Structure 1
Amino acid sequence: MDVLDKVRAGVLGHFGVNSADVASVTFLGLEPIDILRIPDGELVHYVTLGGSRHPMTDPAAALADPVRGPRAELVLTLLGGVGAGSGLTRALGVLAAAPAVEGVVLQPDGLLDLGEPLWSGASFTAVLLGAADIPEVELPEPAEPVRFLTVTPITATEAAWVRVRGASALREAWREADIDICDPARGAASL
């Protein structure tokens, strides 16, 4: 069983489903990245599948290790989801491809700015990464396990706040304002 088969099995098992809708995104020079769409009551989970195919490499490293290094997939959860053709699949593919394209190592509290709406009509142009509750997928030694990171859409104002005050300060502002970060129509936190 290859890495992506194990990751898919781990995701489907976590959500207690046998299958998911799949959209695929390809970028020139990269292997395809699939986006799994998993309805769950009022929520829809979007999970990338392909970012963990290869380990992420620190851009300062002289050589990329083909086996060792962190591996991650991204999880976005939205109330009701967003429509097909909204551009969300492409945006998630861009985020999952960032390690291969830009040498970014995805990790909790990471801020990724697309500079354009995450989906058509969205006020969110960046995302804040966090630890997801999906268990890591173990791989044969010496490979590191695949971990899952949440993707929280944020506005340009919220991204600026993270740069100045840090991710925990933004999360605290959301808690104080009782903001549902899964609501695709939510406004920015008053900062």
Structure 2
Amino acid sequence: MDLIDTVRAGLLGHFGVESADAASVTFLGLEPIEILRVPDTDLVHYVTLGGSRHPMTDPTAALADPVRGPRAELVLTLRGGVGAGAGLTRALAVLVASPSVEGIVLQADALLDLGEPLWLNAPFTAVLLGDSDIAAVELPEPAEPVRFLTATPITATEAAWVRIRGAQALRDAWTEAKIDVRDADRAAASL
């Protein structure tokens, strides 16, 4: 079983399903990235597969280790699946490919800003990464496990707030205002 099949099996096991709808996105010079669509009651989870194919490397490192280093996939969850087929698949593929293209390391509290809507007519132009409740998928030594990170859609105003005050301050504002960040029609937090 190759790495992507191992990650897929762990992910599907977490949701208790045998398969999921998938779309594939390919960028010049990179292996294909799949976006799985996993319905779960009134939620739909969009999960990347392919970002963990290679370990992420600190851009200041002199050499990239082909085996060691953190690996991650992204999970974006929406109520009712708004965004499917309207650009969300491409946006997620761009975000998870950013370590290969831009040399960044995906980790909790990271802000990834596309500078354009995440899907057609969306008010969200960025995502805030966080820890996921999906268990990491163990890989054979010496490779590090594949972590799943939540990708919460945020507005340009919320992205500015993260840059100034930090990720936790934005999460606190959402909690205080009782904002459901999985609602694609939600308003931005009043900051």
TM-score under structure 2 length normalisation:
0.99
Q: Which residue of 2 aligns with 1:173?
A: 173
Shift of 1:2: 1.1
Shift of 1:84: 3.9
Q: Which residue of 2 aligns with 1:20?
A: 20
2:131 is aligned with 1:131: yes
CA distance in 2, matches of 1:152, 1:66: 29
CA distance in 2, matches of 1:121, 1:21: 23
CA distance in 2, matches of 1:164, 1:175: 19
CA distance in 2, matches of 1:153, 1:107: 15
**Identical positions, percent:** 80
Shift of 1:83: 4.8
Matching residue's letter, 1:107: Q
1:28 match: secondary structure: coil
Matching residue's letter, 1:117: P
CA distance in 2, matches of 1:81, 1:187: 17
For structure 2, the residue ranges without an aligned partner over 5 or more in a row are: none
1:91 match: secondary structure: helix
Q: Which residue of 2 aligns with 1:189?
A: 189
Task: Note the aligned Cα RMSD (angstroms).
Answer: 0.6
2:68 is aligned with 1:68: yes
Q: Which residue of 1 aligns with 2:112?
A: 112
CA distance in 2, matches of 1:175, 1:138: 33
CA distance in 2, matches of 1:3, 1:179: 37
- The one-character-per-residue Cα deviations of 1:19-44 (angstroms, maximum 9, x if unpaired) are 00000000000000000000001000
CA distance in 1, matches of 2:133, 2:26: 27
2:88 is aligned with 1:88: yes
Matching residue's letter, 1:149: L
CA distance in 1, matches of 2:76, 2:62: 33
- The one-character-per-residue Cα deviations of 1:68-102 (angstroms, maximum 9, x if unpaired) are 00000000000001254300000000001000000
Instruction: Report how many residues are paired.
Output: 191
For structure 1, the residue ranges without an aligned partner over 5 or more in a row are: none
CA distance in 1, matches of 2:11, 2:96: 16
CA distance in 1, matches of 2:185, 2:128: 17
TM-score under structure 1 length normalisation:
0.99
Q: Which residue of 1 aligns with 2:2?
A: 2
1:57 match: secondary structure: coil
